[in-house]
Amino acid sequence: MAKILIVDDEIGIRELLSEILRDEGHDVVLAEDAAAARTVRNQYCPDMVLLDIWMPDTDGITLLKEWGANGQLTMPVVMMSGHGTIDTAVEATRIGAIDYLEKPIALQKLLSAVKRGLHRPPPMLLPSALTLAAFPESVPLRELLRRLKQAVGQSRIILLQTGPDHLAELAARSIQTPGMPWLDLGAVNGTFDPTRLAAFHGGQLYLSGLERLTRIQQRNLASIIDRLERHDLKLLVASSAGRADLLSSGWDTGLVSRLFDHTLTEVPSFADIRDDIPELATRILRHLIDTKEIPQRHFSPATLVQLQRRDWRGGYAELFATVRNLALSSSEEEISLPESGMTLAADSPSACSVSFDLPLREARETFERMYFEHHMRLERGNITRLAQKTGLERTHLYRKLKQLGLHGRRPPKE
């Protein structure tokens, strides 16, 4: 029978699932967290993995992304969670999971998922990521792509001097060699082991929010940069801080010099491409449909006007998350007003209001919940980025989310 790896931080869940699957004749190995799962996966090469989403060190979605980027997603993976949402299930299947089970897991659903996974057909290749090349009619985006291509021929490291409403991820995707690996360093829990860069040979590295890196992460970045040429890697970095700002805050002079060796300034913001926002939103929607992340949808003209008028202070990440949430929450094929209008209003920081009639403790808790929901949406539920954005240590962040009733929501449902 099959060798199945169960990854869950709850010993009771591990033992229960293990007992059921062993009774079915399978060979079961266990892991209590992501670190153990990596070791077991490399050592035993399981035929299938049952992977919990919420774990103390690295969440299951991040581990799934890591396996996919490393070329290690060679086995079917079924995600498990006690806080299931449509968003989480869709994200997991988009990344590469074959199924999603909500806890408590019914016996028949477990056995059916295992049976389907062990008899799955070969995986289908998904369309390439969206790039600047998809917008040839936009003068600012076309010019940015031209400058990026020119810069790639001169340096392995490109730094974009941006504001918060930036297009850095779209830019980084645009210089990625087709078919080569992608690694978002900001999505890595803590620091990334530079010795593992061999798995991304010829690929693209991306890092947003350079100015938020800790001293340890700065040293880690320096080690990664040392290995770029060896592994034929490109690195695109986005920073709202300038060279002088980083040096005055204690950054290593040599590291700053290397990062700013090839800098692109005057990078277009969302204010500069306002006329292109309807096309950008429509392209994002089409990409999500092509990747099977959402069902067939299209925007009404009124919704596109509303998207165009909005101030996208969170940049491309905010627009991408909003388009995705609109599509998932729409009950009809056409995403129209007033349904989309209510969603956009709820998603806007300017819509934040707390009653002054509440006791101080309740008012503070209400604001904190709205604050974390907003940033969870912008960071697409990525806990590592959320910790960096909010300035909280991960353990404290998990405790705060649990206190506010947000633990287990990836990202908050509209």
Q: Is residue 152 part of a domain?
A: yes
**Bigger pLDDT: 335 vs 337:** 335
Structure tokens at 235: 């690195």
Give the angle 319-323-328 at the CA atoms, nearest 5°: 150
Residues 21/22/28/30 CA torsion (nearest 10 deg): 80
Q: CATH code at 198?
A: 3.40.50.300
Rounded Cα distance between 4 and 291, Å, is 28
For residue 101, is it within any domain?
yes
Q: What integer pLDDT is reported at residue 178 of this predicted model?
A: 75
Query: Are 246 and 307 contained in the same domain?
Result: no
Query: What confidence score (pLDDT) does residue 346 get?
Result: 55
Q: How far is C-alpha 240 from the chain's CA centre? A: 20
DSSP letter for 127, please: P
- pLDDT tens per residue across span 392-405: 877 778 788 877 77
Which of residues 303, 333, 351 is at a domain's end?
A: 351
pLDDT at 380: 64
Q: Are residue 150 and residue 247 in the same domain, yes or no?
A: yes
Q: What percent of the chain is modeled with pLDDT above 70? A: 87
Question: Is cis: bond before 127, omega within 30 of 0?
Answer: no
The reported pLDDT for the residue numbered 5 is 97
Structural tokens at position 360: 């101080």
Please tell me the total count of domains within the chain: 3
Give domain status of residue 288, yes or no: yes
Q: Is the pLDDT of residue 353 over 70?
A: no
The amino acid at residue 365 is E
Predicted confidence (pLDDT) per residue in 120-160, tens digit: 754 443 445 788 888 878 899 999 999 999 999 899 999 99
Q: 51: domain CATH number?
A: 3.40.50.2300
Task: Answer with the residue of higher pLDDT: 86 or 184.
Answer: 184
Q: What percent of the chain has pLDDT over 90?
A: 43
Q: Is the CB of residue 96 less than 8 Å from the CB of residue 77?
A: yes
> Are 258 and 146 contained in the same domain?
yes
Which tokens go with 232? Answer: 């034929």
Mean pLDDT computed over 5-19: 95
Mean pLDDT over 321-329 rounds to: 86
Reported as a pLDDT band with limits 50, 70 and 90, residue 339 is low
Note the pLDDT of residue 329. 82
How far is CA 274 from each of CA 33, 139, 140, 348, rounded to the nearest angstrom?
44, 12, 11, 17
Range of the domain at 315: 274-351
pLDDT 10s digits, 238-286: 999 999 999 999 999 999 999 999 999 989 989 899 999 999 999 899 8
Q: What is the pLDDT of residue 414?
A: 38
- Is residue 412 domain-resident? no
Q: Is residue 335 domain-resident?
A: yes
Question: What is the rounded distance in angstroms from the CA atom of residue 186 to the CA atom of residue 382?
Answer: 9
CATH number for the domain harbouring residue 341: 1.10.8.60
Q: Is residue 41 part of a domain?
A: yes
- The continuous run of DSSP H or E covering 315 comes out as helix 315-329
Q: What is the mean pLDDT of residues 88-103?
A: 84
* 285 domain residue, yes or no: yes
Q: How far apart are CA 162 and CA 50, in angstroms?
A: 40
Last residue of a domain, one of 264, 284, 306: 264
Residues 137 and 255 in one domain: yes
One domain for residues 102 and 12: yes
Q: Point out which residues pair with 206 in neighbouring strands.
A: 184, 236
Give the model's pLDDT for residue 411.
43
Cα angle 251, 257, 262; round to 5:
130
Residues 76 and 159 in one domain: no
Residue of 395, 308, 389 lying closest to 344 (CA atoms): 308
Q: What digits encode the pLDDT tens for the residues 189-198?
A: 567 889 889 9
Question: For the chain, what is the mean pLDDT?
Answer: 84
Last residue of a domain, one of 264, 290, 307: 264
Q: Does the pLDDT at position 174 exceed 70?
A: yes
Residues 14 and 111 in one domain: yes
236 domain residue, yes or no: yes
Query: Both 147 and 53 in a single domain?
Result: no
| Cα 270 to Cα 275: distance, rounded to the nearest angstrom | 9
